[in-house]
């Protein structure tokens, strides 16, 4: 199913990083860093698609090498932030063209919102990893881009007063872009940028395993004779009956995943039961109610004896009683649901102790 992920990172000199190197890796190209004199060659890396988006009149910035060398030259501080990256999860349910359109729409919004240049690399899943792991790296300048070069710094994402709120807005906008793409593709799944707690979901979030833990777990699978089925993520593969995770983090992640799955099944069963009762009452309720009404009218008018035998009258009486009992059961079920929802909301709103 489609998942939500948007993370915002920075490319900073204080961490020994270069905007040119970052762009070369994400695009799978060979670029020369004029500032350091180093050539970064990632042409062996397979990248599904790349493109750049720029403000009107700044066509010069569509040259990847020229753009990111200009970004490096514009900064003089040794701890300068030379680029910003948005890492996006793309729905595997979409086609290649639909994924491209989705990222292009979000990238264009970044161009218009901040006046920056956007450099996109769409990456396919790793050959040995989860085959649903389509994702995009969206690299942007930290300065506005115009016809004559780079301009002022875009501080809104850097300032403590505005940064967190701005990131939250971008997360919401990415969820909206994704859901619109899923709707256009007639895919029923939807994503939500909010945490499980904010959504009111009784689920425990799983932590990120990281490449070291994933490598150890994959090695344990080979040693234990497990061959994950194609397309499965590492957590799903680790949940196979009989497999013993090699790390504590792996064991915790599997247990959390199983618990969440059980809660999902329970919730789905509850919802299915509710829909079944509502559907049955929607069909049978009016019919039984009509029978009860006719029976009561015939009794009140003294016509029952003339239009039906005693056996028929008894049958109609039983149907009327069944209609009343079914309506009472439906009312009781709806009241239980309301009580359960009130309890759920009260638990969510309780302050931390």
In a domain, 151, yes or no: yes
Task: Based on the fold, state whether residues 36 and 175 are members of the same structural domain.
Answer: yes
Are 69 and 166 in a shared domain? yes
Write the pLDDT tens digit of every residue in 197-209: 677 666 666 666 7
CATH number of residue 18's parent domain: 3.30.930.30
Q: Over 90: is that where the pLDDT of 1 sits?
A: no
Q: Is 1 among the domain residues?
A: no
Position 352 scores a pLDDT of 42
Whether the pLDDT of residue 56 is over 50: the answer is yes
- pLDDT score at 350: 41
Q: Mean pLDDT over residues 61-83, rounded?
A: 96
Give the pLDDT band (50/70/90) at residue 230.
Answer: very low
Residues 298, 160, single domain; the answer is no
Work out the average pLDDT over 74-87.
Answer: 95
Confidence of residue 215 (pLDDT cuts 50, 70, 90): confident
Q: Which of 233, 248, 263 is the last residue of a domain?
A: 248
Structural domain boundaries, residue 226: 210-248
Residues 143, 52, single domain; the answer is yes
Ranges 19-23, 83-87, 223-227, 298-302: which has the least confidence: 298-302
* 334 in the same domain as 273: yes
Residue 205 is assigned to a structural domain of this protein? no
Q: Which two tokens stand for residue 105?
A: 């729409």
Same domain, yes or no, for 153 and 274? no
Could you tell me the strand order of the sheet in which 135-140 lies? 6-12, 81-89, 135-140, 118-123, 49-53
**Same domain membership, residue 178 and residue 62:** yes
Q: Residue 273: inside a domain, yes or no?
A: yes
Is there a domain that residue 228 lies in? Answer: yes
Percent of the chain with pLDDT over 70: 67
Residue-wise pLDDT tens digits, 2-34: 789 999 999 999 999 999 999 999 999 999 999
**Whether 117 and 241 share a structural domain:** no
200, part of any domain: no
Our CA dihedral for 119, 122, 126, 130, rounded to 10 degrees, sits at: 120
Per-residue model confidence (pLDDT) at position 319: 58
Same domain? For 166 and 309 the reply is no
- Identify whether 203 is part of a domain: no
Judge if 63 and 162 occupy the same domain: yes
pTM above 0.75, yes or no: no
46 occurs within a structural domain:
yes
- How many residues does the structure list for the chain? 353
Average pLDDT, the chain: 81
* Residue pLDDT, tens place only, 248-299: 887 877 777 777 666 666 666 766 666 666 666 666 666 656 555 655 555 5
Q: In Å, what is the CA distance from 244 to each residue of 36, 69, 258, 290, 294? A: 48, 49, 14, 61, 66
Going by pLDDT thresholds of 50, 70 and 90, the confidence category of residue 311 is low
**Mean pLDDT score, 177-200:** 87
Residues 139 and 18 in one domain: yes
Last residue of a domain, one of 218, 248, 278: 248
Band of residue 304 on the pLDDT scale cut at 50, 70, 90: very low
| Overall number of domains in the chain | 3
In this structure, are 189 and 166 located in the same domain?
Answer: yes
């Amino acid at each position: 199913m489609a998942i939500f992920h948007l993370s915002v990172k920075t490319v900073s000199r204080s961490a020994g990083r270069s905007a040119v190197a970052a762009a070369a890796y994400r695009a799978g190209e060979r670029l020369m860093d004029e500032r350091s004199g180093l050539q970064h060659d990632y042409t062996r890396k397979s990248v599904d698609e790349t493109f750049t988006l720029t403000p009107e009149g700044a066509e010069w910035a569509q040259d990847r090498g020229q753009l990111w060398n200009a970004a490096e030259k514009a900064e003089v501080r040794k701890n300068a932030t030379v680029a910003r990256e948005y890492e996006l999860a793309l729905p595997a349910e979409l086609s290649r063209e639909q994924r491209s359109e989705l990222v292009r729409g979000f990238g264009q919004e970044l161009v218009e919102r901040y006046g920056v240049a956007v450099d996109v690399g769409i990456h396919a899943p790793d050959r040995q990893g989860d085959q649903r792991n389509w994702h995009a790296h969206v690299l942007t300048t930290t300065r506005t881009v115009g016809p004559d070069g780079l301009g002022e710094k875009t501080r809104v994402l850097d300032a403590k007063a505005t940064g967190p709120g701005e990131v939250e807005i971008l997360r919401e906008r990415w969820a909206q872009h994704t859901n619109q793409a899923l709707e256009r593709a007639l895919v029923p799944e939807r994503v939500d940028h909010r945490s499980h707690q904010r959504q009111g979901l009784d689920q425990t979030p799983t932590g990120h395993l990281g490449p070291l833990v994933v490598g150890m777990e994959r090695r344990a699978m080979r040693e234990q004779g497990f061959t994950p089925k194609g397309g499965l993520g590492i957590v799903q593969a680790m949940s196979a009956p009989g497999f013993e995770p090699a790390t504590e983090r792996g064991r915790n992640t599997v247990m959390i995943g199983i618990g969440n799955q059980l809660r999902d099944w329970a919730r789905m069963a509850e919802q299915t039961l509710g829909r079944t009762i509502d559907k049955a009452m929607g069909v049978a309720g009016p019919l039984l109610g009509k029978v009860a009404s006719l029976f009561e009218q015939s009794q009140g008018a003294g016509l029952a004896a003339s239009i039906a035998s005693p056996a028929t009258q008894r049958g109609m009486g039983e149907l009327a009683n069944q209609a009343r009992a079914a309506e009472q059961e439906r009312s009781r079920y709806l009241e239980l649901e309301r009580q359960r929802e009130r309890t759920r909301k009260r638990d969510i709103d309780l302050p931390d102790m």
